[in-house]
Amino acid sequence: MTKFNSKAFEPLDAEEKALMESIEGEEWQSVENIEQEKDKALEAAQATLKKDRRINLRLTEKDYYQIQIKAIEEGVPYQTLIASLVHKYLNGSLVSQE
């Protein structure tokens, strides 16, 4: 792999620096069939985003309005925000801001 000229490109943060170092350290390997790997990744992404179940949910009026306000702040529909919260909770990635 081509090494980066460190003077020409400074990493933005620690994560980017670690990524650059792993590339420079030749920790990455080319795959045999790139098109097949792309297809697999695309299929996995589509399966992740597929929403095929509906639910009815009762909220207090206060919670309903607060979730709508938060959705507007985030720039997403409130149903999408609720689905995202449920998904993050189930995957253990919902973090408390305490």
List the pLDDT tens digit at each of the 98 positions of the chain: 556 565 567 778 888 888 888 888 888 888 888 999 999 988 888 877 777 788 999 999 999 999 999 999 999 999 989 988 998 899 888 887 76
Cα dihedral value 84, 90, 94, 96, nearest 10: 130
Delimit the domains of the chain by residue range: 14-36+55-90
Indicate yes or no: pTM above 0.85: no
DSSP secondary structure string for all residues of 27-61: -----S-HHHHHHHHHHHHHHHH-----------H
CA 35 to chain centre: 23
